[in-house]
Amino acid sequence: MSFKPLRIASRRSPLAVAQALWVRDRLAEALGIDEVDRDAAFPHETFVTTGDRMLNPTLADIGGKGLFTKEIEIALLDGQADIAVHSMKDMPAQMPPGLVLAAVPVREDPRDAFVTLDGRPLDQMPAGARIGTSSTRRRAQLARLRPDLALVPMRGNVGTRLQKLAAGEAEGTFLAEAGLRRLGMTDVKREALSPARMLPALGQGALCVQARSGDHETLSACAHINNRPTALAAAAERALISGLDGSCKTPIGGLARQTGDSLILEGQILTPDGRRVLRGERTVAIGGMTWEAVLDSARAAGADLAAYMRAEAGADLAAMLGDQ
């Protein structure tokens, strides 16, 4: 094997490991690395992040998204790793100086999954049933959809939350459909909720492959697994969250999807109690353009939708976005 090893860093959770190994396999396929050589070509190291250690408070209380990326980004900047694999929805709106988005692989299903032990759908849950989630977005959306249900805090990785559900800490919970699929959890009983009903987190189902800005060899290798429709959607979604808030403190949902020669971006902000909601949409024509121009248009659509939503937000929503 004549290949300079590319060291991959990720969080230590089973899902993060599965995602990192999936990226490893896509890189190996693209670069012609035999299966028997993959471990040597792409050594994988895991890190425990601040967010992993702090399981009791909500993310909004302890500082938001960067808690799941900081230690891994430090390892990249210090040269302990060449590539980092993150869940896109965990990424702060801005990356640290010296690091760049090296690739956005093909997206998994972005929908939220409502999980119960018996597979009962959300509409059939009895009034007063306890639903476990610490996501500000999911709590606000559920309060709007089913104000008769009881919200209880629930954090932890996929396995931990499923264990809490089995232990009777709640009658239902939400997980990302993408995570369940990447972990091969076909036996988990759930209802995948349409984006029209519950708009997912911006970036949900997408992965971020991160590298150092000056590491041209690594950036060239990662370019092989970049999926343009997913990268385009991620560019629009990241511009939207950057323009709105960029943390876990405000209930924000959004999703971009390519349909033919158009990119459709939807966004939503809510008050924590779900009583007030603002939803907007932008459609961008992307046919007959260079890739750079298409990316610029996607980012512009996200920024424009964010500006519109800020302008249209009422007093409660504007205060949540820091405008008052």
Active site residues: 90
Beta bridge partners, 254, equal 267
Q: Strand, coil or helix: what is 101?
A: strand
The stretches of the chain forming alpha helices (DSSP H) are: 14-31, 38-41, 50-53, 59-62, 70-77, 136-145, 158-166, 177-182, 216-222, 228-244, 291-312, 315-320
Q: Which two tokens stand for residue 42?
A: 């792409």
| Amino acid identity for residue 151 in this structure | L
Q: Strand, coil or helix: what is 239?
A: helix
In degrees and rounded to multiples of 5, residue 187 shows phi and psi of: -85, -10
The DSSP symbol for 107 reads P
How many H helices and E strands in the chain? 12, 13
Q: How far apart are CA 134 and CA 152, in angstroms?
A: 8
Q: How far apart are CA 35 and CA 29, in angstroms?
A: 9
